[in-house]
Amino acid sequence: MREVAIVAAGMTRFGELWQTSLRDLFVDAATEALNAAGVDRLDAIFVGSMASGQFVGQEHIGPLCADHLGMAGVAAMRVESACASGGMALRAGFAEVASGLSDLVLVAGVEKMNDGADATAVLATAADQETEAYQGVTFPGLYAMIARAHMETYGTTEEELAAVAVKSHRHGALNPKAQFGRVVDLQSVMTSTLVADPLRLLHCSPVTDGAAAVLLCPLRDAKRFTDRPVKLIGSGVATGAMALADRADPAFLDAVQLSAERAYRMAAIGPGDVHVAEVHDCFSIAEICCIEALGLVERGHGRHAAPSGETALGGRVPVNTSGGLKAKGHPVGATGVAQVIEVFEQLRGEAGDRQVADARFGLTQNMGGSGASSVVHILERV
């Protein structure tokens, strides 16, 4: 396999982007990435999108995106794995370059969630339909059950859950492309509207429009496009039981642990080497469970990480410096690629007020559903 580098990135602002279509969001992010590298050709395009057919009535978006980018004829395909679609698209693009099939690959993620579809119903298609969705369980409900299981097992409190959201908003306030660029305090989180006990509105990621794109090439060619490439050194994918009730421990994300182990093995590093991480915090409890499964903290100790400052900027291992899904926003197909862009910028020293000093290794973890699929990528500063 060839070594693979990320050489450029582009990303729209995240939010309720009523005036911009799905295809235009893709083109805006893709064009920014291509222009940054001075590129006017591609060998392949991979587009992560969870539910464009349900959100905006548009399927077959691989060729649509290629055409509107002015690159009809280029091999282009959509990748879907629920909210992990963006991360899985990156995995596909990584394999395409590493295998030698293509030399210049654009990986993008895009979702337009605010055009009138019932977002709760669309997102519920990522759950087990027979045993969960048809019984009326929504994703806030599923993650509320995960939160309750974590509380019963480890003593996690509502204050500790709220501290995750406070930390994410503090980071997001430093990100000009975040949907919610404002700070919130503990009291605001703990008195926000109850959605699914114990989860409140400010524990939940928003409904978001947006797109993100990165350009991949063999590491040996990277200097043609940038003087600061970032090497993609590890990629791990795993799946778990679709239904929460079928898992041995609903408070632990087995697929996240397994995908991380595979990525660490490929990268030849361990969790103690990670300097910055972007994890899938669709709900506050998800960040707590993810950092445990990734090995960034001990199992059962994730609840202490945000209150202690361990995962904040300046802490031992800053997590979700972008603001995470909670504050940056969560356009489900684009999230995995946006996570990679945050780490790409951190390793290049371009994160501005969010910069983690001397970061060499960064990790991203993108998850589908309530943890039925997970993809982890590890990046290294060259």
Backbone angles phi, psi at 122, to 5 degrees: -65, -45
Can you tell me the distance from the alpha carbon of 48 to that of 334, in angstroms, rounded to the nearest whole number? Answer: 7
The closest of 141, 121, 139 to 51, measured between CA atoms, is: 121
Question: Active site residue: 150, 275, 280, 330, which one?
Answer: 330
pLDDT tens digits for range 245-291: 999 999 999 999 999 999 999 999 999 999 999 999 999 999 999 99
State the pLDDT at residue 31. Answer: 98
pLDDT tens digits for range 286-344: 999 999 999 999 999 999 999 999 999 999 999 999 999 999 999 999 999 999 999 99
State the pLDDT at residue 182. Answer: 94
Cβ atoms within 10 A of the Cβ of 72, count? 11
State the pLDDT at residue 371. Answer: 97
Q: Does domain 4-118+207-224 have CATH number 3.40.47.10?
A: yes
**Cis peptide leading into 229, omega within 30 of 0?**
no
pLDDT tens digits for range 213-233: 999 999 999 999 999 999 999
Residues of the chain with CATH 3.40.47.10: 4-118+207-224, 126-204+233-381
Task: Output the CA torsion sign for 158, 198, 271, 295.
Answer: positive
State the pLDDT at residue 121. Answer: 94
pLDDT tens digits for range 38-92: 999 999 999 999 999 999 999 999 999 999 999 999 999 999 999 999 999 999 9
Q: Say what percent of the chain tops pLDDT 90.
A: 99
Backbone angles phi, psi at 194, to 5 degrees: -70, 125
60 labelled catalytic: no
pTM exceeds 0.85:
yes
Compute, in degrees rounded to 10, the torsion defined by CA atoms 49, 54, 55, 60.
50
For residue 198, the one-letter residue type is: P
The closest of 363, 369, 312 to 339, measured between CA atoms, is: 363
Strands, DSSP E only, in the chain? Answer: 4-11, 44-48, 75-79, 105-112, 194-196, 199-200, 209-218, 230-239, 276-278, 361-368, 373-381
Return all residues near 9 (Cβ < 8 A) that are at least 6 apart.
32, 33, 36, 212, 213, 214, 215, 340, 341, 344, 345
**pLDDT classification of 116: cutoffs 50, 70, 90:** confident
Q: Does domain 126-204+233-381 have CATH number 3.40.47.10?
A: yes
Angle between helices 158-172 and 284-293 (to 10 degrees): 90
Residue 27, token pair as written in the block:
């083109």
The closest of 281, 323, 321, 322 to 302, measured between CA atoms, is: 281
Task: For residues 156-173, give the mean pLDDT.
Answer: 98
pLDDT tens digits for range 141-161: 999 999 999 999 999 999 999
Question: Active site residue: 83, 204, 289, 290, which one?
Answer: 83
Cβ atoms within 10 A of the Cβ of 113, count? 28
Q: How far is CA 54 from CA 2, 25, 117, 136, 205, in A?
A: 37, 17, 7, 19, 20
204 labelled catalytic: no
